[in-house]
Amino acid sequence: MESIVWCLLIASWLSLFLFRGSSASSAKPAVKRGKNEKEVVDYHDSAVTSFLDRLGVPQERHLEACFVPCGGFMVNGQISEYENDVCYGKMLEMHRATHDKELDKSADYPYGSYFVGKKRLWETRVQLKFKKPPIQSEMFFGIELEKYVPMSRSVKRTMDGVVRMLKGVVGNQIYHSVGENPEECADSAELEMPTFVMPMWAFDQYIVTAEGEVPPELDDECIPELGSKRSGRVSEFRKELDNMVFEVGPTYTLCFWGISQWLDKLNWQLKLPLLGRLHMDQFAGSPPVHVVIYTLNRSHDGDDKRHLNSRKQYYLNVAFWSSKERPRGERVMELLGAATQALDPSRFSPRMGGLSPVKRRADAGVASSWLACCAGH
């Protein structure tokens, strides 16, 4: 049953994002440039690269992400903390060294020994401590894209068929939308973005730590032996989470790796039987992709079942990408939020290819205060 679920999930994701007609392309979107526009875009990209270098990001290939809306930055292999209106959170991304076969074989890299003997390419661990108790049945976990992607009618029909099969296996709690075309919905006050989310039992493992007790660190070697796992007991696992009542006080640790053997985030590729490796831009458009946990306010929906952003309360919203495939500099600047001042392209010298020494010293204070703020959240 579990293998069927994940095969259908992959098929559904492909239907949602991959076969979208002649507009599909693995290349990054073209940029229309005026007389001076190319120069500005280059400055933005250079500003981001310089800023991230000063944050100490690894030189080797790695995952990068920004928490939304606080702008906190994270890379795989490091535990990152965040805070929003409804919870305190921690997150850890562990990834095999899929960019280097010899390094992966040696296991001589952070968490390398953990992946020995496992099929998974990565594992995501999230820890939540609620400020407000959510209703478990109203919580969703999955992915969102930032832009609508055109899709032909034939592909949409195929996709709808896959989704119906998927719901027949795992239930109607799955929500799947290709989003709304802004050209066809010009009069709409708000558009729905491409979304694929599932109930909380889509996670592979959960651990509940009672209030007053110390929860495991996300890099604790004992985590695989703690809590409850889905593998080999899908029905029981689903019932456990369906019956769980989230409360203020306990700490909830959630682990996810179910689709990881088909999704190489570090190389920004899908790995599928028969089809081989496919660039993620072909099905997700340009990066980033958002991993989300949210509740949905249905009080004013009526017959409107769309998952609009205005109806969501995010417990986790993290935009991620590979250092191999960064979003354009302007988008990274937007995601970093409070660090925008530090990335102002006017501070850049085209001759030097980076910040001037005077502006670099002034900028360091901005970056430091931003990091201190995010570290506390």
What does the pLDDT read at residue 10? 56
What is the average pLDDT score of the chain? Answer: 78
- Give residue 18's pLDDT: 40
What single string gives the DSSP state of each residue in 218-281? TT-TTGGGSSEE-TT-HHHHHHHHHT----SSSEEEEEE-TTGGGEETTTTEEEETTTEEEETH
What is this structure's pTM?
0.80
Q: Which two tokens stand for residue 46?
A: 């250079």
Beta bridge partners of 144: 195, 290
> From the first residue on, what is the mean pLDDT of each consecutive set of 10 residues in the chain (377 residues)?
52 47 38 42 70 84 90 87 95 96 95 95 97 90 86 68 64 79 77 90 95 97 96 91 94 93 90 78 82 87 83 95 91 75 45 35 42 40
pLDDT value at residue 103: 96
Enumerate helices (H) and strands (E) in the chain, giving the number of each.
9, 18
Q: Does an H or E element contain 80, and which? A: strand 80-83
**Residue 14 burial (CB < 10 Å; 0-12/13-18/19+)?**
buried
What is the Cα–Cα distance from 177 to 374, expressed in whole angstroms? 32
Alpha carbon 369 to its chain centroid, in Å, reads 25
Nearest-CA neighbor of 290 among 66, 88, 91?
66
Question: What three-state secondary structure class fits 211?
Answer: coil
> How far apart, in Å, are the Cα atoms of 320 and each of 60, 62, 136, 324, 352?
17, 11, 25, 12, 30
Q: Is the dihedral of CA 228, 234, 237, 238 positive or negative?
A: positive
3-class SS of residue 91: strand
Q: Edge-to-edge strand order for the sheet containing 251-256?
A: 80-83, 87-95, 122-130, 251-256, 205-209, 228-229
Residues 128 and 251: their CA atoms lie apart, in Å, by: 6
Q: What is the pLDDT of residue 19?
A: 39
**pLDDT confidence of residue 55:** 77
Rounded to an integer, what distance in angstroms lies between the CA atom of residue 215 and that of residue 39? Answer: 49
